[in-house]
Amino acid sequence: MGCSRSAVVDRSEGEAFSVSFLKMALKFEVLGKFNRARAARLALPHFVCQTPLFMPVGTQGTIKGLTNNQLEEIGCQIILGNTYHLALRPGAELVDDLGGLHKFMNWKRALLTDSGGFQMVSLLHLADITEQGVTFQSPVDAKPMLLTPEESIQIQNKIGADIIMALDDVVKTTITGPRIEEAMYRTVRWIDRCIAAHKRPDEQNLFGIVQGGLDPVLRDICVRGLVDRNLPGYAIGGLSGGEDKDSFWRVVAQCTAALPEDKPRYVMGVGYPLDIVVCSALGADMYDCVYPTRTARFGTALIPEGLLKLKNRAMANDERPIDPTCLCMVCRNYTRAYLHCVVTKDPMGSQLVSYHNLSYMMRLSKDLHTSIVKGQFPEFVQGFLRVQFPKGDIPEWVCNAMEVAGIDISTCCAP
């Protein structure tokens, strides 16, 4: 392979590395715990956040249909921007020239950008991964192009988000075989290239991403390799791609147990409210997903009981708000009957349900944080599960995960 360093960093060598990478642009302070779950204060350059938290995805520099003041109103702390999309339009140079993405969007709170790799692999034809980087066909003129770890970091430096993600070799969890091992080791090699390329460590926090598929041995090697680099934070990647829930939670549990206590842990691509509650119980802090806004555009609202399909004919005469317990602008002013008329038909329908769904996710984040701080986390989890599963038919994977998390949900389960 021609590399002078071994793929797995030796402990003594690791220490030499870690001295030079103590620069961080965040402070992570745990305020409360229940077993593995923790509530924390995450101070970033642009905003002081409370975890656990959910990050809405603002792919192209906007959350679909909401204005900045509305996002602040509902309690949004960090927004995720997609590097691939932004580098295409309006372009990293332009964003840099205009003072960074915060200034461009006029978003005063925190931003996180992903590396661009995942989008490329999932969106583009003929995308391929080599040791150099991700090769792909430019969607603009079909020229062959290459995204290297160095370039991903360079672009993210220009965009200027509070948290930036290392370029990783991400493989779907549904794939088996030696490709997963190759991807894991490559991810660790690439992190060093990302670190070397990162020009703004005192303003932007580089998170490493743990890969390794569903193989505990590979995951463990990856965790140790990343932890040796003493990064400001860590993400658990490669999940939420169609794997079964039982495998999903076990990987999360393993990684959160192995990752350092004093650094934030971000599970990428999660997700459904139930998944967020389980992962938080297992010790994760940060989440992102397009789900709440995407499902809103199809007329589906998130409620404590689960999902409310507003297009359903039964909604046509339902005079209740989406969620009687929700205090958001939409639930205080509109009925299911009215929303039934506008969803999927008028832009306003999309806006209103997106607003509610994101409010729901912000409320969930806040409830997770507050209940842990107040020492009421088990009660919160029990309450959450009881409302979602009134018949007590809690899925087995949730029961297993809660057992590992040390949370007694026997009162919520059917006998």
List residues binding other proteins (CB under 8 A).
Answer: 60-62, 64-70, 85, 89-90, 94, 97-98, 104-106, 316-317, 319, 329, 332-335, 337-338, 340-342, 345-348, 350-352, 355
Pairing status of strand 134-137 against strand 128-129: antiparallel
Q: Which residues are catalytic?
A: 114, 288
If one counts every other C-beta atom within 10 angstroms of the C-beta of residue 223, the result is: 23
Phi, psi of 33 (to 5 degrees): -140, 155
Contacts of 315 (CB under 8 A, 6+ apart): 308, 309, 336, 337, 339, 340
Helix, strand, coil shares, percent, the chain, to 5 = 45, 15, 40
Sign for the CA dihedral angle at 342, 299, 385, 378 comes to: negative
356 is in an annotated binding site: yes
- Residue 275 in marked binding region: no
Q: Is 246 annotated as a binding residue?
A: no
What is the C-alpha to C-alpha distance for residues 33 and 282, in angstroms, rounded to an integer? 11
Cα separation, 397 vs 401, whole angstroms:
6
331 labelled binding-site residue = yes
DSSP state letter for 307: E
Is 238 annotated to bind ligand?
A: yes
Q: How far is CA 184 from the centre of its chain?
A: 19
Q: Which helix (H) or strand (E) holds 189?
A: helix 178-197
Nearest CB to other proteins, comparing residues 130 and 344: 344
Secondary structure of 89-115 in HEC code, one letter for each residue: CCCHHHHHHCCCHHHHHCCCCEEEECC
Say whether 326 counts as a known binding-site residue: yes
Residue 53 beta carbon to other proteins: minimum distance, rounded to whole angstroms: 23
Residue 293: CB minimum distance to other proteins, A: 11
Q: How far is the CB of 350 from other proteins (least distance, A)?
A: 7
117 in a known ligand binding site = yes
- Nearer CB in complex with other proteins: 146/348: 348
Select 85 or 179, whichever has its Cβ closest to other proteins: 85
Measured from the CB of residue 294, what is the shortest distance to other proteins in angstroms? 13
Would you say 93 or 396 has its CB closer to other proteins? 93
SS3 75: coil
Whether residue 168 is annotated as binding a ligand: the answer is yes
3-state secondary structure of 207: strand
Beta carbons of 64 and 297 less than 8 angstroms apart: yes
What would the two tokens of residue 284 be?
């994760």
35/68 with CB nearer other proteins: 68
CB 312 within 8 A of CB 341: no
Minimum distance, C-beta of residue 307 to other proteins, in the bound complex (Å)? 21
Question: Which two three-digit tokens encode residue 246?
Answer: 């039982």
Min dist CB 38 to other proteins, Å, is 35
The token duo for 85 is: 């999309």
Q: Which is nearer to other proteins, 320 or 374 (CB)?
A: 320
C-alpha span between 158 and 324 (Å, rounded): 44
| Residue set of the binding site for Zn(2+) | 326, 328, 331, 356
